[in-house]
Structure 1
């Protein structure tokens, strides 16, 4: 959610209303309660300045004064380091490395097959359903992906989980711990404030 102000915001996020990668960044901005503005990009008619800022001409793109960043996980780690409260990454190097590996796996195994292709195959749906069901057990003993604290890994995964119904993926009863985790994440104020009207409509 953009914060309007007569004073020019420090940060500008180029976003798109249904882009799950952009929603990741919107979640972190809301979690940090940072003043920012969102420029809504029509992906079929992108503004010229986006291509000048980002060589891939993609969203999300974050402009913070003279710094321009792209790729959602890179942006989010920058935001967490620059604005350390509340912290969204572990303190020790080993745990941070494990968190980065988890985010890499979320991208490679789930996001790319789901969102970086024109058509989603039934095989991809079934594979994701099975893998989410398999990891559901970990939420029987912890609140979030890294333990008891909400983290960037949760921010990375949440937009995909929100879109499961619109992707035609229904979780089985055996995935109830995962469904409880989803309810905890979706009920966070930062997540709710990150949703665009188009994203809200995905679950109506």
Structure 2
């Protein structure tokens, strides 16, 4: 019997969604607990994650109520670290390939996603970055995608796909709603650029991972769109 695993998360967090995707793809038993990241409970900071960030995994120790965490459980933080932890915890899930070359490709993809997608995308959303930098990042990621491969690395879903798909979905929210602190219309313009043949391989990949059952189960599109429109509202 496996150790208990509690995932502290927030529904609208793309980083929380990464961990949820990996758990669902691994068919792993876990307890999910929603944390109010805008009004963090004192016990979460003092007993789970002193930085107060989600996702955080509490693994092992006795089975307790999530809001009464045990000091005996191991606390795992940072979404990419959690992804590798889950892949190691469930080695037969295919979340991390067994051969060293493919494993290294997954890790390189994780790094590229952080630098080329996450950083420029959320800088653009917050009005501090350009849509050109978002496109450059997508070009980098597209360079990792093999022509006939179903997923980021080879023909099996891995933590590489779990790492990027939440951000691709939020990219689409931006391009469909124009929500963000960037100049009005730039989100739509970004979307039009992505519809061109230059990004056809990326678009095909995005369509595939966003249609996956695990993704649909963990993504609240309406909630994300509403949050973006409110939190990243343009100054009037």
Normalization by structure 2: what TM-score? 0.72
Change (3 A) 1:116 1:63: farther
Answer yes or no: is the 8 Å Cα contact 1:30–1:194 preserved in 2. no
Q: Aligned partners of 1:33 and 1:105: how far apart in 2? A: 27
Question: Could you give the per-residue CA deviations for residues 19-73 of structure 1, whole angstroms, max 9, x where no partner exists?
Answer: 1111100101111122222211222101222212113210000111211101111
SS of corresponding position for 1:63 = strand
Q: Aligned partners of 2:21 and 2:146: how far apart in 1? A: 21
Answer yes or no: is the 8 Å Cα contact 1:113–1:120 preserved in 2. no
CA positional deviation for 1:172: 2.8
Aligned to 1:5: none
Higher relative contact order (CA 8 A, sep 6+): 1
Aligned to 2:231: none
Aligned to 1:21: 15
SS of corresponding position for 2:91 = coil
Q: Report whether the alignment pairs 1:172 with 2:195.
A: yes
CA positional deviation for 1:118: 7.7
Q: Aligned partners of 1:40 and 1:116: how far apart in 2? A: 26
Higher Cα Rg, which structure: 2
Change (3 A) 1:104 1:130: closer
Count, aligned residues: 193
SS of corresponding position for 1:14 = strand
Q: What RMSD over aligned residues (CA atoms) do the two structures have, in Å?
A: 2.5
Aligned to 2:133: 127
CA positional deviation for 1:97: 2.5
Q: Report whether the alignment pairs 1:79 with 2:86.
A: yes
Q: Aligned partners of 2:85 and 2:123: how far apart in 1? A: 24
Q: Report whether the alignment pairs 1:115 with 2:109.
A: no
Aligned to 2:100: 93
